[in-house]
Structure 1
Amino acid sequence: MTDNAAAAAAMAPVDPRRRRLMLAASFGACLAAWPSARLRAQDLRLRASRHMMGTVVDIAVAGGDADLLRSAQAAAFERMAALVAMMSHYEPTSRVAAINLAAGLQPVAIEPELMQVLAMAQRMSRRSGGAFDVTVGSVGRWHFDPRDPVMPPAGYIAAHLADVDWRQLQLDERAGTAYLARRGMRIDPGGIAKLAILDAGLQTLKRHGVTQALINGGGDVVATSGGAQRPWRVGIRDPREPSRLLAAIDVREGFVASSGDYERCFVRGGRRYHHVLDPKTGYPAQGPHGVTLVGTELAAVNGLGAAAMVLPAREAHGLIGQTRGVQALIAGRDNGLWITAGLRERLQPA
């Protein structure tokens, strides 16, 4: 499964008493900075990384018991891996693959976690007028790894574009089933499953007693820092110049979700193809360079960035403005920046 992995973050618990930071490690699309002073036992911090969903997923945790932290990290990775196996459209034994195989034939029983993700996809499709559409997988499988890129033939995309229609995905929450109404349709939940999977990992950490944690999956970040603990500092990569950070933001609870045209892409025939597809064309969207969203509710943030990458600027601004509790930064195709007032007040120098 691959997904929106477009921003970068510099992450560290913010300590106003300490100004000197030591660069400790690179978290895929993120950088982690730890205080250089000697840590007390209760300040123990651990980081672990695994490759999944086409990116590197990092878990940073803090607390006073190393065994508890390591056990919680292992449980979170196990939980996320199970959800990836359930929701990946690349995995032939997944529930998503079963839905695609049974398209036009019969409903498929699905787990509550997948039902939740697909229901979020339906709601975002409705709100965005189809700018986000989980059935965009009907136009074929794209692979954006520059070492081994795959683009469906133009004729295949044209022949199957009519099958991209979120209305034909029928969810029966009472029966616990999903059904694609037309033969040949496919769902690709990559644009909405990753953030839900990362959040499931965070909830697992919490159930294991971890109160200060951050999970980063290729630029999508979910974090918690409770009580008197320091918030996490998350830096936002500049979509116009991805090699530098634009700003930083302190996060105590919630999500920093990013979509962009510069992370997972390849060049063919002099044209650059990126991973956010426009459901109306079957090809990469021609919208802004990048979108970064900040919010505390998964359902509000999830899928919104992908929709904003597809919509015209005015419509994207309106859709975000109508979403309660979400702040945003958009780097437009003209290299201009649009930042909501709430986020502008929270931005700090990177």
Structure 2
Amino acid sequence: MLQLQHKAMATVFEIRSTGEDPHLLRQAARAAFDVIDRLEHMLSRYIENSDISRINHLAAGESALVGYETMQCLQLAQLLYAETGGAFDVSIGTGFTNLELVPEESRVVARADDVRLDLGAIGKGYAVDRMADVLEDWDVSRVLIQAGASSVLALDPSDHEDGWPLTLSEPGQDGLVLVRLSVRQYALGASGIRKGDHIVNGLEGTPVRSRSAAWVSAPRHVLADLGRRAGVEASAAAVADALSTAFMISPVEEIEACCRSHDGLEAWILADTFQHFPANLQSE
């Protein structure tokens, strides 16, 4: 197996491949990693003059022009904010509804002062999706793409395998495997609080403490179909990334409803107990 890595967005992006030509894979990977670096300079709130940094400095009534990818991320975040009843909120509790998106003008308008955005819970997944676009443009498809421990997109396995093996493990205890999966053309998103209070319940403004981890997985086409409702193509990893964050907060009933309404989507929640929300396979 060939593994190629690149550091960006405060994590490590990795491409794993079996069965692809190594020279072609390295060329394609360089192109994909270049895309990540470009996205980081647009989406990071920590980089001065990035699109997100400029939005975060808007006063009420002011607007900022943003790049195509930034607008796509924001449109997807807006859709998932509504889809999850506000559980997924990139505004760090300052009110995503205080921003107006004007896609046809590539413009974001602030309706209030001090709106703050952080795309950390969707940006890495979005970058993984864009990496997949680049690799497939190079006719490289027998790969698994991963961003840290939060976002995974499995394309095709090698000719000798049925799927890519993945495991869900208890945070901080990689040896304690909770679930084993074998997937192809699948996205997996994961969220947890192992590193501290980095997930905030935007509905209450308090850190998440009642759940240790959440995972969301679904066929690539299912999550991409959800993203298309926001006008965003090929967004499976981004949607899985965002939903895993939302499910750290969402009531059990809402998680069940989400899994029922999207064929093939399933979730796992680790709290005092480990709970599986199985996929609705009715139409598959």
The TM-score by the shorter chain falls in which range? 0.7 to 0.9
Q: What's the CA shift for 1:58?
A: 1.2
Structure 2 counterpart of 1:282, from 189, 194, 205: 205
Larger relative contact order, structure 1 or 2 (CA cutoff 8 Å, min sep 6): 1
Q: What's the CA shift for 1:316?
A: 3.2
Percent identity between the two aligned chains: 26
Q: Which residue of 1 aligns with 2:165?
A: 233
Q: Which residue of 2 aligns with 1:271?
A: none
Structure 2 counterpart of 1:337, from 226, 249, 274: 274
Amino acid at match of 1:337: F
Q: What's the CA shift for 1:112?
A: 1.8
CA RMSD of aligned residues (A): 2.3
After superposition, the C-alpha distances for 1:119-178 in whole angstroms (9 at most, x for unaligned) are 111111112221111111xxxxxxxxxxxxxxxxxxxxxxxx6xx211111111111111
Structure 2 counterpart of 1:218, from 148, 159, 163: 148
Q: Distance in 2 between matches of 1:283 and 1:92?
A: 28
Could you tell me whether the CA contact under 8 Å between 2:146 and 2:153 is conserved in 1?
yes
After superposition, the C-alpha distances for 1:180-217 in whole angstroms (9 at most, x for unaligned) are 21121111111111101111112111111212111111
Amino acid at match of 2:109: Y
Matched, 1:176 2:106: yes
Matched, 1:62 2:18: yes
Amino acid at match of 1:341: P
Q: Distance in 1 between matches of 2:263 and 2:118?
A: 27
Structure 1 counterpart of 2:44, from 53, 67, 88: 88
- Contiguous gaps of at least 5 residues in structure 1: 1-44, 137-160, 266-273, 344-350
After superposition, the C-alpha distances for 1:283-333 in whole angstroms (9 at most, x for unaligned) are 32134211111112243534111111112333333334334431111112x
Q: Distance in 2 between matches of 1:63 and 1:227?
A: 5
Q: Distance in 1 between matches of 2:259 and 2:201?
A: 18
Alignment of structure 1 residues 36-75 onto 2, 5 Å? 45-75=1-31
Structure 2 counterpart of 1:196, from 126, 133, 149: 126
Could you tell me whether the CA contact under 8 Å between 1:198 and 1:215 is conserved in 2?
yes
Q: Distance in 1 between matches of 2:246 and 2:210?
A: 10
Q: Secondary structure at the match of 2:155?
A: strand
Q: Distance in 1 between matches of 2:5 and 2:19?
A: 18
Q: Which residue of 2 aligns with 1:305?
A: 244
Q: What's the CA shift for 1:279?
A: 0.9
The answer to which of 301-310 and 56-65 deviates more is 56-65
Q: Distance in 2 between matches of 1:68 and 1:103?
A: 48
Q: Distance in 2 between matches of 1:175 and 1:259?
A: 34
Q: Which residue of 1 aligns with 2:177?
A: 245
Q: Which residue of 2 aligns with 1:124?
A: 80
After superposition, the C-alpha distances for 1:53-102 in whole angstroms (9 at most, x for unaligned) are 22222111233422111101111111111111110011112111111122
Q: Distance in 1 between matches of 2:63 and 2:86?
A: 23
Structure 2 CA distance for partners of 1:64 and 1:337, relative to 1, 3 Å: closer
Structure 1 counterpart of 2:68, from 88, 91, 112: 112
- Contiguous gaps of at least 5 residues in structure 2: 228-238
Could you tell me whether the CA contact under 8 Å between 1:329 and 1:337 is conserved in 2?
yes
Q: Secondary structure at the match of 1:63?
A: coil
Q: Which residue of 2 aligns with 1:260?
A: 192
Q: Secondary structure at the match of 1:309?
A: coil
After superposition, the C-alpha distances for 1:221-248 in whole angstroms (9 at most, x for unaligned) are 1121069563211111124955422221
Amino acid at match of 2:39: L
Structure 2 CA distance for partners of 1:341 and 1:307, relative to 1, 3 Å: closer
Could you tell me whether the CA contact under 8 Å between 1:169 and 1:178 is conserved in 2?
yes
Q: Secondary structure at the match of 2:108?
A: strand
Instruction: Tell me how many residue pairs correspond in the alignment.
Output: 263
Amino acid at match of 1:290: A
Q: Secondary structure at the match of 1:195?
A: helix
Q: Distance in 2 between matches of 1:287 and 1:125?
A: 21
Could you tell me whether the CA contact under 8 Å between 1:301 and 1:326 is conserved in 2?
no
Q: What's the CA shift for 1:252?
A: 0.8
Q: Distance in 2 between matches of 1:226 and 1:218?
A: 20
Structure 1 counterpart of 2:267, from 320, 328, 331: 328
Q: What's the CA shift for 1:257?
A: 0.7
Q: Which residue of 2 aligns with 1:139?
A: none
